């Protein structure tokens, strides 16, 4: 029965299960991508702001090592975005997922002309609408419950604003999902599939430092909080991370940059660059060095649902089996009323 619900997403992505392991900078490397692919899911490689030559090597390794479709994440606000973009135009990669800000129309068109399917995040109704009109092939509708850079609208509202109004468009949903039960209900609502991050960061194949995984294991859902923006003079894309010293340091950095902006000793572009560099640097500090006090512990509220490190195969198997059970339970419930 599950395959009937999976059909649209399976066809679009070309994998067994339309379960996307979202690209995660410093986390979604070859090893994780390969494990997700081998388990029948759809992986996204995250190059973050890698030096272009390293990015190209990694992409080549994926092309040679994977036999099923996958995507490469392109972060539009990364300083190396343009280089990564140009490299991708020449590579035989089936999908590109734009992240950061939503992509420019001409970038979507160029990627499609280069033979790739394009996907991008939507965190509001208007962003979804705009990108569909620009010809994006699919959307990842992500609620503010998600880990990493986020919008401010919850998935519950986005489902009603976007998923229910664009019935025939490929929409994958994300943010706070970590169970097969939830996945089953989202498929029933019309989603093509789901994207998850936090649950996959807690896999054995994820190379993140042991301390990083331990912090995830301990954290409750309420401890994964979104950063505030203190002043619209310095627009800050919110980031959801587990509360630690690093979060407080980010607050202080914002205040310092605002003072400098007021004094005219820094430009807005430079201030925003410092904000983005802060996250890239501190995420590496936590993921690679294991400094979970000062580093960034980006995680979704779903961190409260994942308490064990498991192999990817087991994560996928549990998701599928739980979704199947949920659908069977619903079928029985409905059959009582549909005689
Ligand atoms: C540690 C971490 C890093 C992330 N980095 C990226 C990234 O580089 N690019 C991207 O598109 N999304 C990134 N995300 C978002 C995920 O791809 C995914 O959409 C999100 O985790 C879904 O919410 P969930 O964590 O509740 O499952 C990141 C998420 C986490 C937890």
Number of neighbours of residue 277 by Cβ within 10 angstroms = 12
CA of 148 from ligand 1 middle (Å) equals: 5
Per-residue model confidence (pLDDT) at position 338: 79
Question: Tell me, what DSSP letter sits at residue 193?
Answer: E
Q: Could you tell me the residue ranges of all domains in the chain?
A: 2-208+307-337, 219-287
Instruction: Specify the ligand 1 atom closest to the Cα of 21.
Output: 17
Per-residue model confidence (pLDDT) at position 277: 86
Closest listed residue to residue 99, CA positions, set 125, 126, 72, 124: 72
Per-residue model confidence (pLDDT) at position 339: 67
Q: Provide residues with CB under 6 Å of ligand 1.
A: 22-25, 27, 46, 48, 73, 99, 142, 145-148, 174-177, 195-198, 201, 298-300, 302
The best mutation among 148, 226, 315 to test binding of ligand 1, ranked by most ligand atoms within 8 Å of the C-beta, falls on: 148
The best mutation among 146, 158, 213 to test binding of ligand 1, ranked by most ligand atoms within 8 Å of the C-beta, falls on: 146
CA of 79 from ligand 1 middle (Å) equals: 19
- Report whether 176 contacts 145 (CB < 8 A): yes
Per-residue model confidence (pLDDT) at position 3: 76
CA atoms within 13 A of residue 316's CA, in its CB half-sphere = 20
pLDDT in tens, 57-70: 999 999 999 999 99
* 337 token code pair: 């009323």
Q: Name the residue at shortest CA distance from atom 6 of ligand 1.
A: 24
Per-residue model confidence (pLDDT) at position 129: 94
Per-residue model confidence (pLDDT) at position 4: 78
pLDDT in tens, 11-68: 999 999 999 999 999 999 999 999 999 999 999 999 999 999 999 999 999 999 999 9
CA of 328 from ligand 1 middle (Å) equals: 30
Residues of the chain with pLDDT under 50: none
Q: What is the pTM of this model?
A: 0.96
Q: Would you call 114 exposed, middle or buried from its count of C-beta atoms within 10 A (0-12, 13-18, 19+)? A: middle
CA distances from 286 to 18, 33, 40, 49, 299 (A): 30, 20, 29, 17, 12
Please check whether the domain covering 2-208+307-337 is classified as CATH 2.60.40.420: no
CA of 10 from ligand 1 middle (Å) equals: 22
CA of 146 from ligand 1 middle (Å) equals: 7
The sheet carrying 239-242 orders its strands as 148-149, 239-242, 224-226
């Amino acid at each position: 029965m599950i395959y009937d619900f999976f059909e649209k997403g399976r066809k679009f992505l070309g994998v067994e299960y339309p379960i996307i392991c979202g690209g995660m900078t410093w986390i979604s490397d070859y090893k994780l991508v390969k494990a997700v692919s081998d388990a029948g899911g759809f992986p996204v490689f995250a190059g973050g702001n890698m030096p272009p030559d390293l990015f190209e090597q990694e992409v080549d390794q994926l092309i040679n090592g994977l036999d099923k479709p996958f995507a490469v994440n392109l972060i539009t606000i990364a300083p190396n975005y343009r280089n990564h973009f140009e490299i991708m135009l020449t590579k035989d990669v089936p999908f590109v997922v734009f992240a950061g800000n939503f992509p420019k129309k001409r970038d979507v068109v160029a990627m499609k002309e280069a033979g790739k399917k394009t996907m991008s995040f939507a965190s509001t109704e208007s962003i979804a609408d705009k990108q569909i009109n620009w010809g994006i092939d699919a959307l990842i509708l992500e609620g503010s419950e998600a880990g990493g850079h986020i919008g401010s609208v919850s998935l519950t509202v986005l489902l009603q604003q976007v998923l229910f109004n664009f019935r025939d468009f490929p929409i994958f949903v994300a943010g706070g999902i970590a169970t097969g039960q939830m996945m089953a209900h989202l498929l029933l609502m019309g989603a093509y599939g789901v994207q998850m991050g936090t649950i996959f960061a807690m896999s054995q194949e994820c190379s993140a430092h042991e301390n990083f995984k331990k912090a995830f294991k301990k954290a409750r859902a309420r401890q994964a909080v979104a950063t505030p923006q203190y002043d619209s003079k310095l627009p800050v894309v919110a980031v959801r991370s587990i509360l630690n010293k690093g979060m407080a340091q980010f607050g202080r950095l914002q205040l310092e940059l605002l003072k400098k902006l007021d004094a005219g000793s820094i430009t807005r572009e430079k201030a925003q660059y410092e904000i983005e560099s802060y996250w890239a640097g501190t995420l590496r500090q936590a993921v690679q060095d294991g400094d979970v006090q000062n580093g960034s512990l980006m995680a979704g509220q779903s961190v409260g649902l994942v308490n064990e490190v498991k192999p990817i195969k087991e994560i996928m198997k549990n998701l599928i089996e739980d979704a199947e059970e949920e659908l069977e339970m619903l079928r029985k419930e409905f059959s009582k009323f549909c005689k």
